[in-house]
Structure 1
């Protein structure tokens, strides 16, 4: 570093040390802005930029199909379709995944663990090595297509089931009554479709089973070429296997894997908006420190004028002052690292797990520290340039005259006022955004669910496919369990199903009797018992519910919701009509059993009210409820409405299950209120951070207003003393100072309000579908009132201090 720069750096730190109060206030203000920006960068980097440990995840492509005028739909495909995809010339490697779960028994307590089937090339495709043993390879699928009974453990499963023992290789896990040899353990961050389960080989048996394929392009091939080849293959696959494909000209589309992660939807939008909010917060902090710098520069006017008169060039003075600003910003950046650590911990605690990839790591890494350094340097230049240019004016005579008059300089006073206006305007935008997110969240809380979640507890029942290998045995177990639980004290109603309680559930292609096959839309299918409507408290609008006899005998009866009833032509009564539900006979999963020679045609016997079935933020999807005895998946859900406390009831339910089958486990119980609360977790996260950043911006803006008024009072102390000596009343002095401060706030409020309206209209779709994304008059009035109250408080202290000026002291 040149000697001149070293001298500037030493002088800069000497000045900062001599004024500890100024240094602490300015560095602390910057620490808040820089720390928040660094924390948001760490979250964005960990969740959006580098959420996965895979080799080149941005070069992975997923297969999708869509109707000619419909949206793209990412979906599973038959195994034989996956083999056809692997032959496309533009693709270099294609792997498949079949998610599922298996019952872990043997030497371990019975529980259901995620068991993800992957093709033999999967681990080589993903490019992550194990920490122990080996991974699944193509040789783990035998020549006849059967998979070898081997398993690779997740790091968490290794810790939980084997206590991290290094001699785990060669030990066995009993999965669905089959002994699987442990061949490897993956690193802590690797979590392909599971973070606490196992991976097993995907066999070639069961050609009609559903798998999720992804691909990498061959060297030299483009995504456009691969898309053309996939689009050419889709019609042939649709002709050979029509189920799952749009019937009227299906189109094939490839989507980059990074665009379909769990963080690519609402969480991605939220983080982008929050990052913009943090940038605004950092600008407020920079404006605040620039104001402090201008006040300090006024006090140093004589020093700079003397230095200029002794031969210092304006460029040298600017360089010296910018060096001080950058040094101050670096101190703020160092403190900002500590702030970022705390903010990251708070954000991770608020962040809903299911909106973040399970392999994401949010931490202060080297890139985050580099970002913090760059932001600090940029902030130092940003808030230091204007004071440096104004202070470097080399007019000794003018400066001395201004000091003799006790003036701060009209130019500097105007600049400081404009900085306050900018702070207030940006603060208004932050507060308006926070108000819209709060309004959105409150609107989400008031959504009519269409069902009553209070008092309902549910628990999963993972049946062993080998122990319960027939539809009759599974239905018998379910029927006996329902009868036992129904007889327990405190139980009002019991239903068993396959999901859809309250949200989700499988989807199926369908066709209304007498109408062409539906294209681009699917029905949600709920397998349920006769008490389904009593458990959820969903009323029947017309017709009737399923009867006990229909459920027990497995009749082809069905109840549809009002959204499904709207699929019939206007004026047509769906009751008594038939609808073809393909999943009744073709579930697409080998572990799901159906009746022999069953018909996919079911007869509508009732229409129930619409109830939210796709989350609380989405429209109600068409749905059909059929007897659970028609289709028997291995995984079922038992839902119970109780009038008492759930904990004792769960113990009683567990005892009934153990009496029926001592080896049958229960999954983790949950309540419907928990499920509904989870639906609001992401909006709650966005609202909490927007509100926090908005309030922080408000405090910084008011601190800037206070500093300007306090400095104004100190500079006009002599003038105020003379006015009071000539008879001015203290109330007039208070009004004068207050008028100055509130005038700046009014201008900032007008500018910020206009900016908020424009910005929130541009971001309406991302902020909230419920709140409309706009800034309504009531919300703006509340923001203005909050800002006005805070501004009044910021003005009171300087104004009262001005009113207490003693004329004799001021004149002396």
Structure 2
């Protein structure tokens, strides 16, 4: 007896860490049991007596820690160490849990990386909170006329200058080009070839408004943005590094931009990508007043032409509401001086003119507007995947806790308080979550790179870093911590509820209880959420298939599109007619090329030009229509068929009568059914302009700009024939509408070297004629479905992951149930139960959980959720019964497979082995 108490005392005062104490304690208990058994004592009595002998140690230790809070950190480190040892011992469980959670956390972190970069991140400028934008949408690019409703975000140069003079509430008020463009640039006195680069025209106080300092050299001043000032430019940091290896001599050197000598004054600061997030940020920044010199465009000082965004830095203490009222009044005054709003037609709309002052810290939110709804949807989807993963982890923890039941019983018998056991188990859950979070960051990095490739195919300069930022790291850590707490507490609490009497049993017996209600509930939840994701994926797949099957009335076979910029190459409008003939002749001379079409823009690129239309003799019927200039072979080159009359020929030149070809939607809108439009005249609304063009042909409705743009009224003009309205305004050198931007080549066979042939051909005509962009026609069409394709692929990927996790969860719970019911199954089979009846019994339990998840939760929730994604689906209203049926059958098949494996194992149980106990 004295020996036992001395042993207990030695443990109480031992300075050894608890890891060693726990190991020695277990050793001494087993040793004492063996000593008692050696004397003839039954084993269960020997174990009871040994536990009683050492029973106060765990309780005393727990009390000591309650009384000594100063060693909390040491206890925590011990718990973490113990948790790591336990996880190392159960490697199968650990690997499964870490991979499951890493997938859920990584998917969320990847989506959050894009959300943070696109929706939440401010520009890398000084004090972004004080920046205010005049306007709140991303209209583009050059606009005129009346807008209804009257909320404006684009402004003329005159309006910006008037706001600068009359709004002293702003410290600075900067203007910038609304549509980012391209210029042709090459460095002077080098062998560098001319190349097309992204550019942006900005005001002289642009960089000063953002509070930026140059990397080297200097940025713009107001003196740089005046008529007649020397031509200067600022180069972006990335262009300086990537193309010129950070060479300081770039500053002060001459670059030929659109054939004009321009001096580089400085390099923009590192990390600054412009005033908006773009997949092609500017390589060069140029002053606004250089637009007429470098691009020959005259709209810079035309009050009717709105083409600028405006962002300003407000002075401290300025109230926004009164400022907005003042800005609205100043904008109305500026608009009132224009011909558009001073006319009888425009005066009623002047009172409706308004602007919204919006936060400018994130810049011009073009990409935000495009991707906001899709990113928010992806956050919800990835959240559901994480929830399914967490349900799986909770089930794993519950199963693991049941397997440690005897251990918990012994600890309880030794005096451990329940809170102490819960804390230890919760520590294990948190450690597991943190490890999963770190693994999730790897998944997030790879996932972000995949998302960027899917969202911006082929883009090289997207200013979004796939590496996790501090915000993303904090997000991943927070998700990991929350996951560990929420889905670790309940399993820990249930596991800790161990009966000390179980420690007195020499062995464990299988029970007939099977899985707990909580475990089955988690399976029901997983099945329901998996069905929701499967239905969502099915709806997006169905929508994408509908989009792909739209008859675009285009022929993309062996068609190639070459974008070029004759204006940037130094050609005046008077010179382009000869240039276009040369281009046609040179390309026709290449073997294999059948058709050479030249146009203002091509069918499925994001471009559109429009104006009002009136048929001569029909003053009451006016509407808008899109238009473009084309060469005679253009319609054949894109596969557009003629329905009536003729298309352009070599006779339709700059000196011949003005003619036009219209599409079928144009005819349906402006002419009565059966009325012949050939020979009729139309033009811009007004008695003097409505007869400018004679209709010579009608072509079928081919898709332009968007595959879903219905009733798209269009007309086509000869490539070199001036618009009579423009001709009446002034000489040809001011008519920039004559510039074409695309060449469509049709070949007689697939050709891999068309791009290099196009570069060589244009360079041979003029070294400044460079290829701005090259695409196959198929690639251009596919680009119009990039966002739909991305969301569909991600929905499908997430739904497959959810299905896999739900299947694994059901398999795990069913297999655990079979293990727990081994004795019962053995008895049933000993009493004559057949293998089929055992399989049926197990399968009924497994399928019941799936059926409840589908019928009670999954189908109603899926039916409800589809309403919120209808706006992103093409021609889909409500849930598709076909999609719902396929999703249900898929989940049912997966559940059947998950239940059948353990059911067959149960049917193979040997009754004699199942009935043995220790």
Describe the superposition over 1:734-781 as per-residue Cα deviations: whole angstroms up to 9, x where unpaired. 111111111111111222122111111122213x13444x43111111
- Unaligned ranges ≥5, structure 1: 585-596
Structure 1 pair 285–330 and aligned structure 2 pair: CA distance change class (3 A) = same
2:200 matched to 1:116?
yes
Match of 2:587 in 1: 485
Q: State the match for 1:715 in structure 2.
A: 820
Range 418-427 or range 388-397, more displaced: 388-397
State the secondary structure of the residue aligned to 1:503.
coil
Q: Map 1:425-436; keep pairs closer than 5 Å.
A: 425-436=528-539
- Residue 523 of structure 2 is aligned to residue 420 of structure 1: yes
Structure (1 or 2) with the larger CA radius of gyration: 2
Instruction: Identify the residue that residue 388 of structure 2 maps to in structure 1.
Output: 284
Question: 1:93 aligned to 148, 162, 172, which one?
Answer: 172
Alignment of 1:450-465 (within 5 A): 450-464=553-567
* 1:209-259 CA-partner distances (Å, limit 9, x unpaired): 754121225233455444433433444444432459994515222364559
Q: Report the CA distance shift for 1:238/1:383 in structure 2 as closer, same or farther (over 3 A).
A: same
With over 3 angstroms needed to count, the CA separation of the structure-2 counterparts of 1:270 and 1:173, relative to structure 1, is same
2 CA distance for matches of 1:156 and 1:329? Answer: 38
Q: For residue 337 of structure 1, report the CA deviation from its aligned partner.
A: 2.1
Question: 1:509 is paired with a residue of what secondary structure?
Answer: strand
Worse-matched range after superposition: 46-55 or 172-181:
46-55
Give the distance between the partners of 2:779 and 2:197, measured in 1 at CA. Answer: 22
Distance 1:102 1:600 in 2: 37
Relative to 1, partners in 2 of residues 1:388 and 1:157: Cα closer, same or farther, differing over 3 Å? closer
Aligned match for 2:475, one of 366, 371, 376:
371
Q: 1:440 to 1:415 in 2, by over 3 A?
A: same
Aligned to 1:141: 225
**Correspondences of 1:515-554 after superposition (within 5 Å):** 522-553=624-655
Alignment of 1:729-740 (within 5 A): 729-740=834-845
CA 1:647 to 1:61, structure 2 compared with 1: closer, same or farther past 3 Å? same
CA deviations on 1:182-216 (whole Å, 9 max, x unpaired) are 11122453333753631122228752275412122
* Number of the residue aligned with 2:314: 218
CA drift at 1:377: 0.9
**In 2 relative to 1, CA 156–355 (structure 1 residues): closer, same or farther, beyond 3 Å?**
closer
Aligned residue for 2:133, secondary structure, equals strand
Distance 1:394 1:569 in 2: 86
CA shift for structure 1 position 708: 0.6
Q: Which residue of 1 aligns with 2:868?
A: 762
Say which SS state the counterpart of residue 651 (structure 2) adopts.
Answer: helix
Between 108-117 and 658-667, the greater mean CA deviation after superposition: 658-667
Specify which of 854, 858, 866 is matched with residue 749 of structure 1: 854
**Closer/same/farther in 2, CA of residues 56 and 783 from structure 1, 3 Å limit:** farther
Contact 2:381 2:798 in 1 (8 A): yes
CA–CA distance in structure 1, aligned partners of residues 853 and 402 of structure 2: 24
* 1:229 corresponds to: 326
Answer yes or no: is 1:808 the counterpart of 2:918: no
SS of equivalent to 1:251? coil
Match of 1:80 in 2: 158
**Cα displacement string for residues 380-411 of structure 1 (whole angstroms, at most 9, x for unaligned residues):** 1121122123233365459989996622757x
Deviation of 1:357 after TM superposition, in Å, equals 8.8
8 Å contact from structure 1 (residues 402, 408) kept in 2? no
Q: Cα RMSD over matched residues?
A: 3.4
Which residue in the other structure is 1:175 paired with? 257
Task: Determine the structure 2 residue equivalent to 1:241.
Answer: 338
Q: Which residue does the alignment assign to 2:543?
A: 440
Structure 1: distance between partners of 2:340 and 2:600: 21
Q: Note closer, same or farther for the CA distance 1:525–1:80 as it changes in structure 2 (3 Å cut).
A: same
Q: Does 1:637 align with 2:742?
A: yes
1: CA distance, partners of 2:238 / 2:719: 35
Conserved in 2, the CA contact under 8 Å of 1:52 and 1:359?
Answer: no
Q: Tell me what 2:96 maps to.
A: 25
Q: Please name the residue that 1:494 is paired with.
A: 596
How far 1:418 moved relative to its partner? 0.9
SS in structure 2 of the partner of residue 553 of structure 1? coil
Deviation at 1:425, TM superposition (A): 0.8
Partner Cα separation in structure 1 for residue 705 and residue 476 of structure 2: 41
Q: Tell me the CA shift for residue 261 of structure 1.
A: 2.8
Please point out which of 345, 352, 372 is paired with 2:449. 345
Deviations 1:259-293 (A, max 9, x none): 96343244222221111111111111111111111
2:779 maps to 674
Distance 1:67 1:77, change over 3 A: closer
Return the alpha-carbon distance in structure 1 between the equivalents of residues 323 and 210 of structure 2: 20
Change (3 A) 1:323 1:744: same
Aligned residues of 2:235 and 2:268 also touching (Cα < 8 A): yes
| Mapped partners of 2:859, 2:545: distance in 1 | 22
Partner of 2:17: none
- Residues 603, 162 of structure 1: CA spacing in aligned structure 2 closer, same or farther, 3 A cutoff? same
**1:643-654 aligned within 5 A:** 643-648=748-753
1:93 is paired with a residue of what secondary structure? strand
Question: Does structure 2 conserve the Cα–Cα contact (< 8 Å) formed by 1:263 and 1:356?
Answer: no
- Quick one: structure 1 residues 393 and 49, their matched pair in 2 at CA, closer, same or farther if it must change by over 3 Å? same
Name the structure 2 match of 1:588.
none
- What whole-Å deviation, never above 9, does each CA across 1:627-686 have from its counterpart, x for those lacking one? 221255455322222222344555555555455445533333222111001112221111
Closer/same/farther in 2, CA of residues 761 and 102 from structure 1, 3 Å limit: closer
CA–CA distance in 2 between the matches of 1:472 and 1:419? 74
Paired residues of 1:62 and 1:255 also in contact (CA < 8 A): yes
Q: 1:272 to 1:785 in 2, by over 3 A?
A: same
Q: Could you tell me how far 1:706 is from its partner in structure 2?
A: 0.8
Q: TM-score, normalised by structure 1?
A: 0.89
Equivalent residue in structure 2 for 1:129, among 207, 210, 213: 213
Residue matched to 2:233: 151
1:511-660 to 2 correspondence within 5 Å? 511-513=613-615, 522-553=624-655, 555-568=657-670, 575-581=678-684, 601-619=692-710, 621-629=712-720, 630=722, 631-632=735-736, 633-634=738-739, 636-648=741-753, 656-658=761-763, 660=765
> Residues of 2 paired with 1:684 and 1:417: CA distance?
36
Distance (whole Å) between structure 1 residues aligned to residue 120 and residue 632 of structure 2 = 48
1:272 aligned onto 2:376: yes
Q: Distance in 2 between matches of 1:740 and 1:291?
A: 17
Equivalent in the alignment of 2:5: none
Residues 88 and 401 (structure 1), Cα distance of their counterparts in 2 relative to 1, 3 Å cut = farther
In 1: Cα distance, 2:171 partner to 2:354 partner: 18
Matched, 1:207 2:207: no
